[in-house]
Amino acid sequence: MFSGKVAYGNTENGFEKLRDALDQVETVLLGAGAGLSTSAGFVYTGERLERYFGDFVRKYHFRDMYSGGFYPFNTPQEHWAYWSRYIYINRCMNPPKPVYEDLFKLVKDKDYFVITTNVDHCFQKAGFDKQRLFYTQGDYGLWQCSKPCHPATYDNAQTVRKMVEAQGFIIAENGDLKVPENVTLKMSVPTELVPRCPRCGRPMSMNLRADDTFVEDEGWHTHAKLYSDYLDEHRDSKTVFLDLGTGVNTPTIVKVPFMKMTQEWPDATYVCLNFGEAFTPVEIQDRSICINDDIGDVLKQLL
């Protein structure tokens, strides 16, 4: 158990200690949150927001993509115009910076496993083995029945591509979404592209854990078991728990379990890489490494 007292900030000689820790272990358990994708350039405000959602910003005064995703649009055609852009740029396009690729280089020769609250598919695109990945909160690339009437999900890539093109975007050869000059983008999609459940006909929704309608499909349960089995098999291994940009909004998925396992496992080290939020409980401070810096910069130094 933890007292609630924590130590913030950088561990003395943190880079050297982290490099040594990774050199000395075969088992690396990675827990990834939004801070990792932010470091890779998937930011939901600023220039990206204006470039792809400028018309929505001017009409509805959204301050970020995330809040826009909860807006009660008047029509499903406008709802899916917004969400198709959201899905495409944050799931189908590659991040601007090679942070995930650098992370893969760092651990690819280790016995690793990834648990992540991120839903942007970046681990798979960077080369991580899908059988070593548990995506707990869903995936931008999947739809489900909004009720839901059955526990299945559906790939949305083909329909999303049609939706963004119907709004006037151009998809470049490298997959990037381009806004053509002197073209006013449409803020709706054709009715025939609005997704409906193939079984009950209700509207489809995103397979994202936002409420109790979230579908944990067969793939979700398969990967949950892979994660559970990995923990059972590696409890006595010399292990680094690498906490990458997870916050305190959902600490019970990665952060708190990683801290508890560090305390309980006989030969474990907890590593927290988080720009502005690096901390560890005082009870495991002597088995922790905290680096309060941009994750991408840290990885470059390690490589």
What's the rounded mean pLDDT across residues 175-180? 93
Using CA atoms, how far apart are residues 30 and 155, in angstroms rounded to an integer?
Answer: 26
Task: Give the bridge partners for 289, in sequence order.
Answer: 271
Using CA atoms, how far apart are residues 252 and 255, in angstroms rounded to an integer?
Answer: 6
Using CA atoms, how far apart are residues 153 and 220, in angstroms rounded to an integer?
Answer: 10
Residue found under tokens 């006909």: 201
**What confidence score (pLDDT) does residue 250 get?**
83
Torsional sign, CA 126, 129, 131, 132 = negative
Query: Is the predicted pLDDT of residue 1 greater than 80, yes or no?
Result: no
Q: Whose CA is closest to 206, among 162, 160, 168? A: 160
Query: Is the predicted pLDDT of residue 285 greater than 80, yes or no?
Result: yes
Query: Is the predicted pLDDT of residue 32 greater than 80, yes or no?
Result: yes
Query: Is the predicted pLDDT of residue 146 greater than 90, yes or no?
Result: yes
Using CA atoms, how far apart are residues 186 and 174, in angstroms rounded to an integer?
Answer: 23
Q: What's the mean per-residue pLDDT of the chain?
A: 96
This prediction has a pTM of: 0.95
Both tokens of 199, joined, read: 């079984």
Question: What's the pLDDT tens digit per position in 89-122?
Answer: 999 999 999 999 999 999 999 999 999 999 999 9
Both tokens of 285, joined, read: 């401070």
**What confidence score (pLDDT) does residue 2 get?**
84
Both tokens of 155, joined, read: 């790939």
- Asked if residue 110 lies in contact with residue 27, where contact means CB atoms within 8 angstroms, the answer is yes
Q: pLDDT above 90 covers what percent of the chain?
A: 95
How far does CA 20 lie from the centroid of its chain? 27
Question: What's the pLDDT tens digit per position in 229-275?
Answer: 999 999 999 999 999 999 888 899 999 999 999 999 999 999 999 99
Task: Give the bridge partners for 114, in sequence order.
Answer: 30, 133
Q: pLDDT above 70 covers what percent of the chain?
A: 100
Burial class (CB in 10 A: 0-12, 13-18, 19+), 90: buried
Q: Whose CA is closest to 196, among 146, 141, 158, 139? A: 146
- Asked if residue 156 lies in contact with residue 87, where contact means CB atoms within 8 angstroms, the answer is yes
Both tokens of 270, joined, read: 């907890």
Query: Is the predicted pLDDT of residue 211 greater than 80, yes or no?
Result: yes
Domains of the chain: 6-39+96-136+217-302 (3.40.50.1220), 46-94+157-194 (no CATH)
Rg (alpha carbons) of the chain, rounded to whole number: 21
Using CA atoms, how far apart are residues 152 and 287, in angstroms rounded to an integer?
Answer: 42
- Asked if residue 125 lies in contact with residue 159, where contact means CB atoms within 8 angstroms, the answer is no
Phi, psi dihedral angles at 233 (to 5 degrees): -80, -20
DSSP, residue by residue, 18-72: HHHHHHH-SEEEEEE-HHHHHHTT--SSHHHHHHHHHHHHHHH--SSHHHHTT--
Sorted by sequence, the CB contacts under 8 Å of residue 44 that are 6+ apart come out as 64, 65, 66
